Amino acid sequence: MAEERQVSGYALRTPWGFGPAITEHRRDGALLLDVLLGQFPPAHGTIITPTANAAAAEHLRSRGFGLQREVPRMRLGDPVAWQPTSIWAICNFGIG
């Protein structure tokens, strides 16, 4: 009997550095970050995560990263449903 498999997240590389990493599962988020970290030299060493994802920050600290700065999450209009604990990395502040 074949084992059933499902995609539970994704991580993308961009030409300018780390791309988004999205998953609902802590173990998979840590794995996605490690895959991204393994694909870039230390010069590309900035990863942007939501402040509300403490698990991502904890994992990155365990890999030698430190907090550089915090910025508020801004919005225009009505609040939107979002799941910051599923966001393990974003492209940049302008395009998420």
Cα 78 from chain centre: 25
**Higher pLDDT, residue 43 or 49:** 49
Q: What global pTM score does this model have?
A: 0.81
Provide mean pLDDT across the span 44-58. Answer: 87
Q: In what order do the strands lie in the sheet with 87-89?
A: 9-14, 17-23, 87-89
28 by DSSP, 3-state: which? helix
Report whether 13 contacts 39 (CB < 8 A): yes
CA-based R_g, the chain, Å? 14
Q: Which of 21-25, 68-72, 83-87 has the lowest mean pLDDT?
A: 68-72
Phi, psi angle pair for 18, to nearest 5°: -65, 140
Position 52 pLDDT exceeds 60: yes
> pLDDT tier at 24 (50, 70, 90 boundaries)?
very high
Q: Lowest-confidence range among 25-29, 39-43, 55-59?
A: 39-43
Per-residue pLDDT, averaged over 4-28, amounts to 86
